Amino acid sequence: MPQLLGVFTQPQHIADAARRLRDRGFTDIETFSPAPFAELDDAVDPKPSGVRAWTLIGGLTGVVTGYAMTLWMANNWQIMLGGKPFSSIPPYTIIAFELTILFGGLMTLFGLLAVGRLPSFRMHKAYNARFSAEDFGLVVDCRDRDVAEIDGLMREHHATEVSVVQA
Amino acid sequence: MTPPPAEPVAALIRPVPVARDSQVNRDLLRVMEGTSVGYWALLHIAVGFMLAAGGVWIYQVYKGLGIAGYAHPIFWGAYIVTFVFWVGIAHAGTLISAILYLFRAKWRNAINRSAEAMTIFAVLTAAQFLGIHVGRIWKSYFILPYPNQRALWVNFKSPLLWDTFAITTYATISMVFFYVGLIPDLAIARDRSTGWRRALYSVLALGWQGTSRQWKSHSRTVLHLSGLATPLVLSVHSVVSWDFAMSIVPGWHATIFAPYFVAGAIFSGFAMVLTMMIPVRRIFGLEAYITDYHFENMSRFLLLTSIIVGYAYGSEYFMAWYSGVESEQTAFWKRAFGPYWISTWVMIICNAFVPQLLWFKKIRTHVPTLFAISVLVNIGMWFERYVIIIGGLSREYDPAVWGIYTPSWPELIIVAGSFGFFCQFFLIFLKLFPVVAIAEVKELEIHAKAHGGGH
């Protein structure tokens, strides 16, 4: 099963090409981009990134941990001070706030690793250092009989070169 | 459908020939190449300062805190002053990365990397002072939520404990932020290096290839980290200020302290970024990426925060007078005309008056003057903390317990060593990681090209 690699120089062109290919039913698409371009990422997969759920879960865990830890510790060994309550919510809010940020931030990092499938121990066969320079790459898995069509479609969208990825 | 053919990880160690590299990559990776005699000299000086301070610190551990200049009633001295100073320096990086990111201020792209690095190094430097100030370093784990031998827990009502959580969180999140932003640039460096560097960058880049899945989660991650770091950066120096404001020392017990400290922290942070980046730009020829426009924008921040800080100075005096509280009035009178009057006037002139020069565009765009102003601001901000801490403690309520503190030589060496500690990290950073966020600069360039000509 051949893989076709098209090289582009502008994000809009590769985004249009990717969208056209998806519409034609070629869903096995991979792109390489030297910088983030939302239009390209959305063309390949319009769904919002799953990282958001990780941040939310981390933040909620943090705020619960912050209050639970401080309240539990204050009541585990109670210190009587002038008849005041053993626990005091306002200062504990500071701890809860910091842990919200801490856990939320760390979970966001883990979310990046999980959702972005990092670390990736194998480099894509079509990856080349030019894609960390200025070029964009679009890789499509296709059947032999579709090669000519995809080649034409990519060139129509200003692909500067199209080649078959050597297995 | 079969999975795409893949290369084994061993192939990562083989350099990939780059047929057509971009100008941005070449220019910005060049900073990491080669080391001049001057670089080694600076690194040796920095490490020398750090080692001298380390030696003095070991001596202090052996002799005890008696070798510091503490004199009743002043037991917070130069160590705490310098701790607050470095925490303040740490604020520019996250402000530039997080808050300016959320405001879509694109000019941050050229300076965010180095500012974030400075944030991490400054927090690390500040954290040293907690251990140094504690004196009995082997007991410093007492600050962690850990029950002592009588099963008594730490007191979460203490601002010092809030500080532990704030600083730990800030250090961790700053490092995460720095690393996440670095990943795409590490991949750029990986594709263009050989030997141990290639091995190092291959590991650190986590196999980054810039696929849309990776970029999409990366952009989302940066957005969320910015959202989390924005309240964090405002909270950290607020919490540090509460170390003082929660007490009843005249001159400390003020509600203005949190915003006053945050503005001062951003002020000093931007000054330090200017102090470090002006020479770096010159030495490494980065004028095409870090332009006068960036320096001018940073100097506008300096001007804005200088006005806020100056306003806070004024309002402190007004409140002391208007409150009619005698101890408060005496504290502020003694601040300006008492034993520490020199520090106070250095602080007021450097922080509130000198930056007013930045109203003039000629001065904002004249780099040597800007450098001089940034150095003066750094000095002024160190003295601000000195005035608040030492000045406050020296003139509390009862004249019978007034005292005078002068930093001792071990304290001064350790304070000087902290600058070496900070600078050695920064110098190593310059040679190990891209000093400008390459992928972000490219994003702007490619956009500019796509929309014809550009900026």
Instruction: Say if the Cβ atoms of B5 and A131 lie within 8 Å.
Output: no
Kind of pairing, strands B6-7 and A123-124? antiparallel
Q: What pLDDT score was predicted for residue B17?
A: 46
ipTM of this complex prediction, to 2 decimal places: 0.94
Compute the residue count for chain B. Answer: 455
Compare all CA atoms of chain A with the CA of B213 and give the residue at the minimum distance. Answer: A116
Instruction: Say if the Cβ atoms of A101 and B228 lie within 8 Å.
Output: yes
Instruction: Say if the Cβ atoms of A130 and B20 lie within 8 Å.
Output: yes
Q: What are the two backbone dihedrals, phi and then psi, of residue B32, each rounded to the nearest 5 degrees? A: -80, -15
From A152's Cα to the closest Cα of chain B, the distance in A is 22
From A47's Cα to the closest Cα of chain B, the distance in A is 10
Q: What pLDDT score was predicted for residue B447?
A: 84
Q: What pLDDT score was predicted for residue B20?
A: 61
Distance of CA A40 to the CA centre of its chain: 13
Q: What pLDDT score was predicted for residue A144?
A: 87
Compare all CA atoms of chain B with the CA of A92 and give the residue at the minimum distance. Answer: B156
Enter the DSSP assignment of B32: G
A134 contacts chain B (CB < 8 A): yes
**Alpha-carbon span B395 to B374, nearest angstrom:** 31
Burial of B51 per CB tally in 10 Å (0-12, 13-18, 19+): middle
User: Which chain A residues touch B7 with a CB distance below 8 Å?
Assistant: 122-125
User: Which chain B residues touch A92 with a CB distance below 8 Å?
Assistant: 156
- Contact indicator for B347, B341 with CB cutoff of 8 Å: no
- Contact indicator for B443, A11 with CB cutoff of 8 Å: no
**Alpha-carbon span B96 to B92, nearest angstrom:** 6
Residue pLDDT, tens place only, A120-132: 888 888 998 889 9
A98 contacts chain B (CB < 8 A): yes
> Which pLDDT band holds residue A167 (cuts at 50, 70, 90)?
low
Q: What is the dihedral of CA B233, B238, B244, B245, to 10 degrees?
A: 180
Query: Which whole-number Å values give the CA distances from B354 to B85, B299, B341, B367, B446, in the listed order?
Result: 19, 12, 18, 15, 40
Instruction: Say if the Cβ atoms of B450 and A11 lie within 8 Å.
Output: yes
Q: What pLDDT score was predicted for residue B145?
A: 85
Selecting from B2, B228, B446 the residue whose C-beta is nearest the C-beta of A11 gives B446
Give, for all 455 residues of chain B, the pLDDT tens digit. Answer: 444 445 444 343 334 445 567 888 888 888 888 888 989 999 999 999 999 999 999 999 999 999 999 988 999 999 999 999 999 999 888 888 888 889 888 888 888 899 999 999 999 999 999 899 988 888 888 888 888 777 788 889 999 999 999 999 999 999 999 999 999 999 999 999 989 999 999 999 999 999 999 999 999 999 999 999 999 999 999 999 999 999 999 999 999 999 999 999 999 999 999 999 999 999 888 898 999 999 999 999 999 999 999 999 999 999 999 999 999 999 999 999 999 999 999 999 999 999 999 999 999 999 999 999 999 999 999 999 999 999 999 999 989 999 999 999 999 999 999 999 999 999 999 999 999 999 988 888 888 887 764 44
Q: What pLDDT score was predicted for residue B15?
A: 41
* CA-angle at B428, arms to B427 and B433, nearest 5°: 110
Instruction: Say if the Cβ atoms of A10 and B18 lie within 8 Å.
Output: no
Q: What pLDDT score was predicted for residue B452?
A: 61
CB-based burial, B395-422: b 16+ in 10 Å, e otherwise: bbeeeeebeebebbebbebbbbbbbbbb
Whose structure tokens read 């990290």?
A: B425
Q: What pLDDT score was predicted for residue B249?
A: 92
Instruction: Say if the Cβ atoms of B157 and A76 lie within 8 Å.
Output: no
Burial of A83 per CB tally in 10 Å (0-12, 13-18, 19+): exposed
Instruction: Say if the Cβ atoms of B232 and A91 lie within 8 Å.
Output: no
A90 contacts chain B (CB < 8 A): no
**Alpha-carbon span B68 to B134, nearest angstrom:** 12
